[in-house]
Structure 1
Amino acid sequence: MAADSDPESEVFEITDFTTASEWERFISKVEEVLNDWKLIGESSKKTPDKGEYTSGLWEEKGDEVLFADFKFSIRHHYFLQEACEKEEVEDIGEDSLPVATQDLLSTNNDFPPIAHCLVRWYGLREFVVIAPAANDAVISESKCNLLLSSVSIALGNTGCQVPIFVQIHQKWRKLYVGECQGPGVRTDFEMVHLRKVPNQYTHLSGLLDIFKSKIGCPLTSLPPVNIAIRFTYILQDWQQYFWPQQPPDIDALVGGEVGGLEFGKLPFGACEDPISELHLATTWPCLTEGIVVDNDVYSDLDPLQAPQWSVRVRKADNPQCMLGDFVSEFFRLCRRKESTDELLGKSAFEENGKEAADISQALSKLTEPAPVPIHKLSVTSMVHSARKKIRKHRGGDESPLSNEVLNAILFFLFPDAKLLDGSEGKPSSSTGNIASQFENEDYHLYSQLKSAPLDSLTYKLALCLCMVNFYHGGVRGVAHLWQEFVLEMRYRWENNCLIPGLASGPPDLKCCLLHQKLQMLNCCIGRKKARDEGKKASATDFSSDKSPNRTANDPGESEKSKYEVGKSWDSWSDSEDEFFECHSDTEELKESGQEATKKSSSKDDSKEPLVLKPEGRLHQSGNLTLLSTGEPLYIPVTQEPAPMTEDLLEEQSEVLAKLGTSAEGAHLRARMQSACLLSDMESFKAANPGCGLEDFVRWYSPRDYVEEEVTDEKGNVVIKGELSQRMKIPNNMWVEAWETAKCTPAHRQRRLFDDTKEAEKVLHYLAVQKPADLTRHLLPCVIHAALLKRLRKISRPSRRL
C-alpha cells in the first residue's frame, strides 16, 4: 500500500497529437504559395483565339518549399490574357468545367512552336510545376505517390482549379504527373515512357482504341473522336548538300598571306555547321476518326498531301562563328593588365644613351640655340628607323608583326603615305566626302553608339587591331601596331602632315574619346602648318618690299621696317612657352606719334589725339559706322576658339564648380570664361581705332544695343541708341574687359589655343595607353562594324537560298 501511495512512483505520459509533421508542413507551405499567387477558387477567362499561344506572351514566377530537408521549386506558368468581361462571368455556373479542362477540349492552339512542353502536349494556358531543386530527382514510387497525395490535398483545401504537375525521375526525361480539380470533376495527368513502342500503338487506330478504353464511357455508341495529327521528320545528316552560305577561307586567313587579308572588313560565317537538326512537320489540324484510315495495313496520311507544312531548326551548342569569335577575343583584351612596355620591352619612345641629353648641358642648350635643319623624312623611312630602335630595346626578339603585315596595315591606315614619300604631301581629305556616299541610317549609327564615322581612321584602326589580335600575335601584336601608330602620329605632328580619314573642324563629341583626341591632334597640326606658312609668306613679303635705296645705316628706316614687319618669326620656337604679348600704346605709335609726343610741351599739344594705324581688318561690316568718328566699322580678324575634347570639358567644368558660389568665385569664373571675349575686343580695337564699347556691342552682340526713335529739339525724328540694361549693371564683365583690352591684332596676341602644348598632351595620352585601355576606347567601333556586317548580310541574302 505504501508503494502504491508514493507519488514519485507514478508516471504520466502525455502525447501531443497537435504537433504538425513534415508532410503537413509541406502541404501547408504549398497552400500558402497558392494563396499568395491568388490561384484560389474559380477563374473566368475567355477562350484563346487561334494561334494566340504563339503570338502572345508567356510569363512565370517561382518559389521554394521544403519537405523535411529536401528542397522543391514550385513554378507558376501562365499565358498573359485580358480579364473576362462581366457578362461572361455571369454565365459561369456551378457546374462549369475548369479552365484547364476547356483547354484540353480546344483545338485552336494545337502544336505551338515555342512553348513549354506541357503546353504542347495538353494545350494548357496556366499550370503549376513542382520539381526537385538543383539536380536532385524523385525516383521511388512511394515518394511520387506521396507528392501526388500532397498536391491533391492542397487542391482540395484551397479550391484551386489550376492543374499542378510533379516532375519525377531525371529532368532530361521530362516526365510529369499531375492533377486538376473542379466542381464535381477531377482530371488526372499521367505519362508513360517506353523503350519500344508496341506495334498496335504505331498507327491511329491503335491509339484510338487505347483512348476509348481509358475514357471508359458506358455508352454503347460513342460520338466520333476529333483528331489533330502531326508527323515530324528529323534530318540530322546533310553532308551531301551544299551550305547556303559559302564558308570562309580559313587557310588564306591564317596562312600568313597578306593578299588574303581584308583589314577593313570583319569576317562573317560559321567554321562549322551551326544547325544540328532540321525538323519538318506535316500537320492535319482537325479531323474526325471516320474520315481517315490509318492502321497497320493501309494509311491515308500521306505527308505530301498534308494541308500544313512547317520547318523548325535546332541550332548547335556554341558553334564556332567568325564574327562572334572576333568580337569576343577583342573584348577579352579589356581584362589584360600589361602595359605596352611590359609586352614589348623597354619603351621605344625613349632615346638611347647617345641621343639622350646631358642634364649638365641643359642650360647651355637653352641659351645657345642652334638651328638644326629638319629633313623631310618619308613615312617609310621614319617607320624603318623607329622599328630599328624598337628591335634594339627588345634585345633582338622577333617582332610580333612581320614587316609585310605591318606595312600592309600602315598603308591601309595612311593611304597618303605613298604620296608623302619624296613629296610635300597634300592635305588629307576629310570624311565629308565619305559622308555624302553613306547618307543613310547605317552611316549615322556611330552617333548612337559613340563610335566613329565609317571609313574614318579610328574606325579602320579598330578593325585592324581586331584582325591583328585574332591572327597576328594577340595582345603583343596589338601593342606592336599601337606603338607604330603613335610613332606615325609623332612624325606627322613634327612634319606638318595632316592625318587622313578625320573630319576637319573641332572634335566631334558624338564620337569616342580616342577619335576626339586624333581630331584634336589634327587641329594642332593644321594650326601649326598655317602658322608656319604665314611665317614664310611674311618673310617673302618683307624681302620683296625692300627698296634698293634703303640702307642699313639709316636707323630711322631700319626701326620703321622692324615695326612694320614685326619680330622675326624664325626667332621664336613653337616648343617654348612664349607668345607675342600686346605692346603698349607708346610702342605702337613709334611711326605716327613718337616725335610729336617728344616735341610737344604745350597743354594744347598734349591733348591732341594720337592717330592709330588700323591692323587686322577682315572686311567692312555692312553700312555700320563708328559712333564717335563716323568711320566705317570693320570686322576684325579674330582667333578661333580653342577646340576641346570631352575630357577637357569635364576638367574645365570641375574647376569652375570648385570656385564655389561666392561673389569672388563667380567673378573669377566669369573672367576665366571671358578669355575669348577679351581677345575679340583687342582685335576689334586694333581694326577700328577710336572705337568704343557701344561699337563693339553693335557688332558682337546686337541684342545688347537698343535703338529707338526720338524727336530732337528741331522736331526731327532721329534714331538714338544705348546699351541694354544688362550692360549697365555695376561691375559688368564686358565693361571691365573693354577697359583691360589693349589695341592688339590677333596675330600678335597670346594664343588662345596653344597647339604645341595640346599636341604634346595628346601624344603623351596616346603613348601611355595600355592595350586594355585602347580596347575599351575602340570596342564601340568594333560593335558598330559587327552590326553593319550583320545588317548587310540580312539585306543581301545568298543566292543559293
Structure 2
Amino acid sequence: MYVGECQGPGVRTDFEMVHLRKVPNQYTHLSGLLDIFKSKIGCPLTPLPPINISIRLTYVLQDWQQYFWPQQPPDIDALVGGEVGGLEFGKLPFGACEDPISELHLATTWPHLTEGIIVDNDVYSDLDPVQAPQWSVRVRKADNPQCLLSDFVTEFFKLCRRKESTDEILGRSAFEEEGKDADISHALSKLTEPAPVPIHKLSVTNMVHTAKKKIRKHRGVDESPLNNDVLNTILLYLFPDAADKSADGSEARTSPSAGCFPPTDNEDYNIYIQFKSAPSDSLTYKLALCLCMINFYHGGVKGVAHLWQEFVLEMRYRWENNFFIPGLTSGAPDLRCCLLHQKLQMLNCCIERKKARDEGKKGSNSDRSSGDIGKTIDLVGKDYLKEGDKEKGEVGKSWDSWSDSEEEFFECLSDTEELKGNGQEGGKKGAAKEALKPEGRLHQHGNLTLLHPGDPLYVPVTQEPAPMTEDLLEEQSEVLAKLGTSAEGAHLRARMQSACLLSDMESFKAANPGCCLEDFVRWYSPRDYIEEEIVDEKGDVVIRGELSARMKIPSNMWVEAWETAKPIPARRQRRLFDDTREAEKVLHYLAGQKPADLARHLLPCVIHAAVLKVKEEESVEDISSVKKIIKQIITHSSKVLRFPNPEDKKLEEIISQILNVEATIARARSLKAKFGVEKCEQEDERKALEKFVNSFLEQPEVSVTGAGRGHAGTIIHKLFVNSQRVRWTF
C-alpha cells in the first residue's frame, strides 16, 4: 500500500493511494520507494534536498509449536469413573482448551533517518531489526477460545431450558415405589414401626441400598446413567458423616451445625448473601458442584436426574432414621439463601425436633428474661405481630395452627386428669390459688414473685416457634392479606398470628398456678407493665404497677388469649411446629423437582462457585483489569440473582463476563509461559517481565524497553529464531 502527502506553506497535497496485491521487486526496498517518491514529487530543483525517512518493519510470529499447551493435564489419580478430563468432585476446572494467543506482532522502528545514511536495496540492507532503536509488540488474541469453567457454567445453564421431568428421563422412578411413604397418613404410621437399623451398621453404600434395588427393578445396572463408582464417590463427598467411624466401629453422625460455622468477616464466604445462593461449605453448594460436573462429564441430564433421585432417597432415609443432614447450619431456615437450601434446613429442623422427641427431650427452652423487650405485641389496628419475629424476618406464627379441624399432635401423658375440675379464671386479680401441681418449670425468674399469691415467679418451658421458608411466608402473607381490613378479618388475623402467644400463656399458667395476666406481662413483655413510686397514706414510698395503655384496650387479643388459655405444660400442648407434616411436605417438594427446576435453584450456587474460582485464579496473576471485571460481575450478579426468576438474557451476560475473565487470565498465563517469566532467577527481572506481559492485556501495543538489547527484546528475538529453526527442521 502506497500513500503520500505533501505539505508546504498554506498548501497540502494528498497523493492518490495505490494498493498492489503483488509488489514489484524493484519497490520492495528503500531505494525503490525513494525513486517512486522523487518521481511523483516532480520537483524542478536539482539536486533534491535530503529526504527524511521513518521506517517501520513488522514481523509476525504464528508458530507456537515449541511451547507447551497452556492447560495443565488432569491428575490421573483424581479421575472419577475412568473419565478422561475428569476432576475431583467439589473442584471446578479452569483455563483454556486451546492457546488463547494466536499471533505476536513485532514492530521495529527507525523514527528519524536521512537519505544516504543507510543502504537498503535488492542486494544489501543496513536495516537489521535487532539494531532498530525502537521495538513495540502487540498480540493477536484467539477468537472465542474454548474455556473449561465457562463451558461448565454454560452447559449447566442449558439445563434450565429442559422440559422433561425426572420420570420422563429415567422412566418409572423410585419415587413411585415410595409413593405410599410420601402420603402423610402412611408417613405418620411409621412412628409406630420398629426401631431402625442400628447406626453402626450403616454406610453411604447401604444407606440407599434398598432404594437402589427398587430402581433397578425398572432400570438395569448397565442402563444406569451413573455407575456405582461415580455414585458412591459423590455420596461420600456429599455425606462424609456416614463414613466417619470411631474406634469402636460406630459411626459418628454430626450435629446439624457441625462443620458449618460462617466466618462473618470473610468477604469471599459471604458472597452467598449477595447472590442468594448458599455458603461455600454447605451441602447445597457441594450438590451444585456435583450436578454441574455430572452434567458435563457423566451423562448429562440423565446423570443429573439419577443423582437427584438418589439424593431425595437419601433425604427420606435420614428423616425416617433420625440422621442429621450434614453441611447445614442449625436453626431456622436462612432466608438469605436459595429456596432449596432453605428446604434442606427445614428438613433438618424436622429431624432435630423428631430426634429430640424420640429421645425423650422436651425440645429447646426459651428463657424470656426481663431484658427481652422484643417480644411485645403490637395491638394497633388489631394486627398483632410479635416484634421478635419481625426481627427474624417472619411475618407471624403458623396461622393454620388455630384451625379446629386439624388433627392435634402432642405427646399424650397419663396425667391429663389433673386438669379436671380446674375452672381457673386467670385474668381476674385476687383469684384463689388453685390446687394445681406446678408443671413445666425451667428456673426461677430472678427475685420476681407473683403479684397475688406471692410465690416465686418461674420461667416456663415453652415451645419453639415454627421455622418457615420464604415460600411458606409468602403463602401465609397472601392468606392473611385476603382476610381484608374489616374488624372481623383483623380479629381472625390476630388469632392466627397469636398461636405462639397462646402456647406461652398456657405454659406460664402451668408453671405458675394462681398467676394473673399482669404476672405474664411482667415476664413476657416487661415494658407493657408500668411501675411507679407513690406515697401512701402513711407517708411510705411504695411501688405500684399497672398494665400499659395498649394492654387496656377493650377486647384486645392478650386478654382474650389469656382467658382462653388453660394451664397446660408445653410437653402436652399441641405442637406449634408439626415436624412430621412439614418434613413430608419438604420431601414431596424435593421429589417433584424437574432437572430444569433444580438447575434454576442451584444456578446461583454455580455462579457463586465460578466467581470464587476466578478470584482464586486472579489472585495468582494479579491483573488490575481483571480485578475490576470481577467486581462488576459480583455487582451485576447480586442485582440479577436476588429475583426469584431472573431473565435468561441477564444470566447469559453474567456467564459471558465470567468467560471474559477466564480468557484474560488464560492469555496472561500463556504469555508468561512463552516469555519464561517463572524461569527468571532475579526477582527484579521477573517482576519487570511480568509487568511487561500483563501490559498486553490492557494496551493494544506495548513498547519494549531497550528494544532488541533489553531483557524482553532478547526473549522476543529468541522466539523468532526458535520458530525459524522449527520451520527449517520440518
- TM-score normalised according to structure 1 size: 0.63
Q: Which amino acid aligns with 1:473?
A: G
Q: Does 1:626 align with 2:456?
A: no
Match of 2:207 in 1: 382
Is 1:192–2:18 an aligned residue pair?
Answer: yes
Distance 2:68 2:581 in 1: 61
Counterpart AA for 2:586: V
Q: Deviations over 1:742-768 (max 9, x none)?
A: 211111111111111110000001111
Counterpart check, 1:398 vs 2:223: yes
Residue from 48, 67, 72 that aligns with 1:246: 72
Q: 2:593 aligns with which of 766, 769, 772?
A: 769
Query: Secondary structure of the equivalent of 1:534?
Result: coil
**Partner of residue 276, structure 1:** 102
Aligned to 2:234: 409
Q: CA deviation at 1:371?
A: 4.9
- Stretches of structure 1 that go unaligned for 5 or more consecutive residues are 1-174, 538-575, 598-606
Conservation of the 8 A alpha-carbon contact between 1:224 and 1:288: no
2:527 corresponds to: 703
Partner amino acid, structure 1, of 2:278: A
Q: Distance in 2 between matches of 1:251 and 1:191?
A: 63
1:483 Cα offset (Å): 0.7
Q: Taking structure 1 as reference, are residues 185 and 248 closer, same or farther at Cα in structure 2, changes over 3 Å only?
A: farther
Equivalent residues of 2:257, 2:329 under 8 A apart: yes
Match of 1:522 in 2: 348
- Asked whether the equivalents of residues 582 and 743 of structure 1 are also in contact (C-alpha less than 8 Å), the reply is no
Q: Which has the larger radius of gyration?
A: 1
The answer to whether the 8 Å contact 2:332/2:468 transfers is: yes
Matched residue, 1:430: 257
CA-CA distance at 1:270 after TM superposition: 2.4
Q: Is the 8 A contact 2:261 2:329 kept in 1?
A: no
1:670 counterpart = 2:494: yes
Of 609, 617, 623, the residue aligned with 1:793 is: 617
Q: 1:310–1:672: structure 2 CA closer, same or farther, 3 Å change rule?
A: farther
**In the alignment, what sits opposite 1:471?**
297
SS in 1 for 2:176: coil
Q: Distance in 2 between matches of 1:589 and 1:229?
A: 107
Distance 1:486 1:225, change over 3 A: farther
The answer to whether residue 592 in structure 2 is matched with residue 738 in structure 1 is no
Equivalent position to 1:694, from 518, 521, 542: 518
Q: Which amino acid counterpart does residue 239 of structure 1 have in structure 2?
A: Q
Structure 1 residue 219: Cα displacement: 8.8
The structural deviation recorded for 1:231 is: 3.9
Q: Secondary structure at the match of 1:416?
A: helix
User: Matches of residues 2-17 of structure 1 in structure 2 within 5 Å?
Assistant: none
1:726 aligned to which of 547, 550, 554: 550
Cα distance in 2 between the residues matched to 1:217 and 1:668: 104
Partners of 1:729 and 1:292 lie apart in 2 by: 106
What secondary structure is seen at the aligned counterpart in 1 of 2:551?
helix
Contact 1:614 1:688 in 2 (8 A): yes
Could you tell me which amino acid in structure 1 is paired with residue 262 of structure 2?
Answer: A
Given that 2:109 and 2:134 are in contact with CA atoms closer than 8 Å, whether structure 1 keeps it comes out as: yes
Cα deviations by residue, 1:142-174 (Å, 9 ceiling, x for unpaired): xxxxxxxxxxxxxxxxxxxxxxxxxxxxxxxxx
Q: Secondary structure at the match of 1:619?
A: strand
User: What amino acid is the match of 2:612?
Assistant: L
Q: Describe how 1:107-146 pairs up with structure 2 within 5 A.
A: none
- Give the aligned partner of residue 531 of structure 1: 357
Q: How does 1:344-383 map to 2 (within 5 A)?
A: 344-351=170-177, 371-376=193-198, 378=202, 379-383=204-208
Partner of 1:77: none
Q: How does 1:561-576 map to 2 (within 5 A)?
A: none
Change (3 A) 1:735 1:424: farther
> Aligned partners of 2:516 and 2:15: how far apart in 1?
97
1:278-293 matched pairs, under 5 angstroms: 278-283=104-109, 287=112, 289=114, 293=118
- 2:80 and 2:254 mapped to 1: Cα distance? 36
Structure 1 pair 263/587, CA: closer, same or farther in 2 (3 Å)?
A: same
Q: Quick one: distance in 2 between partners of 1:451 and 1:441?
A: 15
Deviation, 1:647, is 0.9
Aligned to 1:755: 579
Amino acid at match of 1:588: E
Q: 1:461 to 1:583 in 2, by over 3 A?
A: closer
Amino acid paired to 1:426:
R
For the structure 1 residues 679 and 246, does the alpha-carbon distance in structure 2 shift closer, same or farther, using more than 3 Å as the test?
same
Q: Is the 8 A contact 1:623 1:632 kept in 2?
A: yes
What is the root-mean-square deviation of aligned Cα atoms in Å?
4.2
Q: 1:397 Cα deviation (Å)?
A: 5.8
Note closer, same or farther for the CA distance 1:229–1:635 as it changes in structure 2 (3 Å cut): farther
Matched-pair contact (CA < 8 Å) for 1:642–1:752: yes
The equivalent of 2:660 in structure 1 is: none
> Among 577, 580, 588, which residue is 2:410 paired with?
580
Shift of 1:428: 3.5
Q: Does 2:315 match 1:485?
A: no
Q: Secondary structure in 2 aligned to 1:388?
A: helix
Aligned equivalents of 1:228, 1:717: Cα separation in 2: 105
Instruction: Specify the alignment match of 1:25 in structure 2.
Output: none
- Report deviation, 1:261: 3.8
Q: Report the Cα offset of residue 450 of structure 1.
A: 1.3
CA 1:514/1:217 → structure 2, altered by over 3 Å: closer, same or farther?
A: farther
Q: Partner of 1:350: helix, strand, or coil?
A: helix
State TM-score, norm by structure 2.
0.68
* C-alpha contact 2:494 2:557 (8 A) present in aligned 1: yes
d(CA) in 2 for partners of 1:215 and 1:450?
A: 71
- How far is 1:232 from its partner? 3.2
In structure 1, give the amino acid aligned to 2:233: A
Counterpart pick for 2:484 among 660, 670, 684: 660
Q: 1:212 and 1:656 mapped to 2: Cα distance?
A: 93
Q: Distance in 2 between matches of 1:454 and 1:746?
A: 38
Q: Which amino acid aligns with 1:374?
A: P
Cα separation, 1, equivalents of 2:277 and 2:449: 49
Tell me how many residue pairs correspond in the alignment. Answer: 565
Deviation of residue 385 (structure 1)? Answer: 1.9
Cα distance in 1 for residues equivalent to 2:604 and 2:536: 68
Highest RCO, 1 vs 2 (Cα 8 Å, sep ≥ 6): 2
Instruction: Check whether the contact 1:425–1:497 (CA below 8 A) recurs between aligned residues.
Output: no
Q: Residue by residue, what CA displacement relative to the aligned partner does 1:684-707 show, whole Å, maximum 9, x if unpaired?
A: 222222222222222222222222
In 2, Cα distance between equivalents of 1:185 and 1:272: 53
Name the CA distance, whole Å, in 2 between partners of 1:486 and 1:635. 41
Aligned to 2:709: none
CA distance in 1, matches of 2:139, 2:21: 26
Query: Deviation at 1:263?
Result: 0.5
What letter matches 2:602 in structure 1? L
Between the aligned partners of 1:368 and 1:522, the Cα distance in structure 2 is 18
Change (3 A) 1:253 1:418: closer
Deviations 1:105-153 (A, max 9, x none): xxxxxxxxxxxxxxxxxxxxxxxxxxxxxxxxxxxxxxxxxxxxxxxxx
